[in-house]
Chains A and B, each alone.
Chain A
Amino acid sequence: MNDDQATDLIDRLAAQLPRTHAPVPELVEAGRSARRRRRRLVAGATTALVAGVVLGAFLGPRLGDGGDRSDRTDTIDHVSPGEAVVYYLAVEPDTLDAHPAPTRLTARLVDVRNTGNPGLDALSALANSVPEDKDLTNGFNFLRADHTSFIQPTSVTHADGVVTVDLAQDPMDPYPNIDFFGPSGEVITQQLVWTVQTAIGTTDPVRITVRGEPAAGILGHSLDGPVAADPAIVLPPDDPVALQMTVNPDLVGPGQVVTVTYFMRWNRGLAYKLVSADTTDPDLSNPDYYLISDGGTARRSMAWYSGDHPPAVHNIGIGGTGPDRVRIPETAAEGKWLLCAVTPLVEPCAELTVTRNGSPAPDVEGYLSIPLSNDPYPAVTYFEESAGYSLGLTTAVSCPAVVESVTPLGDEALLVKTLPPEYGGCRFAAPPSTDRFPLAGPVAETVKWAVIDQGAGREPVRVRLEFARGTLD
């Protein structure tokens, strides 16, 4: 076949492709909107980052006697007495929708009153605050013109691994009723959970009650028990080369190990990539190496692959802050590199230098080691719309718990198989298992929590399973 024949072939195919009208006005508006959001997100994202540090560091109560309701959008590098981090609702940064509903959270610093109860102080301040940034929404009080909160916290207690927030009135169906286009009750629930957890310095789940009785829900979102923080809902920093993660040491030899630590817990992928940074404008979309699993085939382990020919990424989300230990590929050339996490959203990176005289580092089995954590690990599986079966294996590599496959049993239950021990260089205390999870309804955007028993003396690990119907193309 020569070039003309190939051109003819492709032209023949292209002639059959459906033609659509260019949505130029929408593109321009989306571009303008994205430009505005980009400018604002720089400050906001930085605050979210540092708020994560605050949470991760488990700082103690932050008490004070301030009363200023205004939030500040400068960098949160220090939380003083009389201040607290609260979370507001934000729009997905990459959305091209001209009128998107806020689905994410971003952190801000507000002044609080000193009542001796940091959780209640933070929630009370949130209920009475209005974000200065007009693109942010306070889910507690956006419903009413006078910004009266429909969520009125009266007490916050923390005992037996559960934070309990008691409210003065039922927030399930506040006036005006919920027939409107706006933030969902689910994201407002997460706003409450993240704010109170951050104030107390815990990741324990949050039970919401109304005058001592379990709350039915928030703004139409039903609750059926304590709510865990969704690690993926808080906006990560916008700048991919910002200090979202650190690498230590940052001067290494090929084949040596670096320790990767994240500043905040949010949903990231397990995979890594290595991008040459010897140029002034490293192209993160064209990495030189991928550290990924080869999926359900022979090796089933994490290994570095050439960026030119990576296998399909089989990945699983994890939510921990590390420290991960990553072995630099033996073939990495001397020079500057960016080590980046591969995530569904922003990809955090940290710069390191590979040198033949790099600092020695301890060996690590395989190329990746991730510490035991009780953070939830979301495992995402999609099902075909009509057939309703699992699309092959949801191959994933993670420590300490991995979901290998999820198979719906009709619309009644899910069969979840976890991986065998010592998978991908990780050591598992838990044996391989197959568990049956009953479903309350059809398999559609369902979230379930699986608890993986790690054996005597070790904490069980919770794995968040997200299911949705979907098609491949």
Chain B
Amino acid sequence: MTNDDEYTEYARARWSALVHSAMLLGAGKAEAEDLAQTTLVRCYLGWTKVSRATNRDAYVSRMLLNAFRASRRRRWWQEKPTEHLPDGGDPDRTAEVDGADAVARALGGLSQPQREVVVLRFYLHLGELEISDVLGIAPGTVKSRLSRALDRLSTDTNLADLDGGRLP
């Protein structure tokens, strides 16, 4: 298998996860696609390094996160947390969308560092040590951020009405 074949297979497999990760971090759909593209093009440029990474997904997650952070820092206007799901929901699935919207609003209530560890842990399913490596912070900091994020989600009023008042 050539490098291009290997890259193509990887890009196809990871595209959705990268787009969704960026959206969960707070990007809109178009920006999320841009960030996924940027990440995957950078993967192409450094494929030798990427393909040799011990944990390729964690390595690429870090690239995505860096691209996301850079895009935020380079904005020339004040940031506003994303609290609403981008358009694209199915009108026949109103209840599900409402629930997801509540989750999105709850995520929007987290600080950005908390939101990052939540996405890395519970969407990309990285371990705490991997998150520590991706974020460049101590494993203990990962634990404390996760703990505080979960505490905050537990008391978030946006999630109170889900599933008849029970948290999932």
Contact = CB atoms under 8 A, between A and B. Distances in A.
Given A18-B29, A283-B136, A28 B76 contact: no
Contacts of A23: 37
Contacts of B33: 20
Interface centre among A3, A308, A395, A473 (most CB of B within 10 A): A473
Interface in A105-150: none
A285 B135 CA distance: 11
B28 interface: yes
Contact of A35 (B45, B79, B93, B113): B45
B77 A12 contact: no
B99 A6 contact: no
Contacts of B60: none
Given A473-B27, A473-B82, A10 B118 contact: yes
Interface stretch (A191-199, A234-242, A310-318): A310-318
B69 A10 contact: no
B37 A285 contact: no
B38 interface: yes
A34 interface: yes
Contacts, number: 161
A14 B24 contact: yes
A19 interface: yes
B123 A285 contact: no
A286 interface: yes
Contacts of B119: 10
B122 A16 contact: no
A39 to B, nearest CB: 11
A24 B77 contact: no
B161 interface: no
A15 B100 contact: yes
Interface size class, chain A: 35 or more
A381 interface: yes
B104 interface: yes
A35 to B, nearest CB: 6
A394 interface: yes
B37 A27 contact: yes
A6 B150 contact: yes
Contacts of B118: 6, 10
B52 interface: no
Interface centre among B73, B100, B137, B150 (most CB of A within 10 A): B73
Interface string A354-368: 000000000000000
Interface centre among B74, B107, B154 (most CB of A within 10 A): B74
A16 B85 contact: yes
Given A27-B40, A285-B66, A473-B27, A22 B12 contact: yes
B84 to A, nearest CB: 9
A17 interface: yes
A473 B28 contact: yes
Interface string B126-168: 0000000000110000000000001101100001000000011
25 contacts: A5-B167, A7-B125, A8-B168, A9-B168, A11-B123, A16-B85, A16-B96, A17-B88, A18-B29, A18-B86, A19-B16, A20-B29, A21-B15, A22-B15, A27-B44, A30-B44, A31-B44, A31-B45, A34-B44, A35-B44, A94-B38, A286-B136, A308-B113, A472-B80, A473-B31
Interface of A: 1-3, 5-24, 27-28, 30-32, 34-35, 38, 94, 96, 283, 285-286, 295, 308-310, 312-317, 342-344, 380-382, 391-395, 470, 472-473
Given A309-B113, A343-B74, 11 more contacts: A5-B167, A9-B168, A13-B107, A16-B97, A17-B20, A17-B23, A18-B88, A30-B37, A94-B38, A96-B41, A286-B66
Closest CB pairs A-B (n = 4) = A31-B44, A22-B15, A18-B88, A16-B100
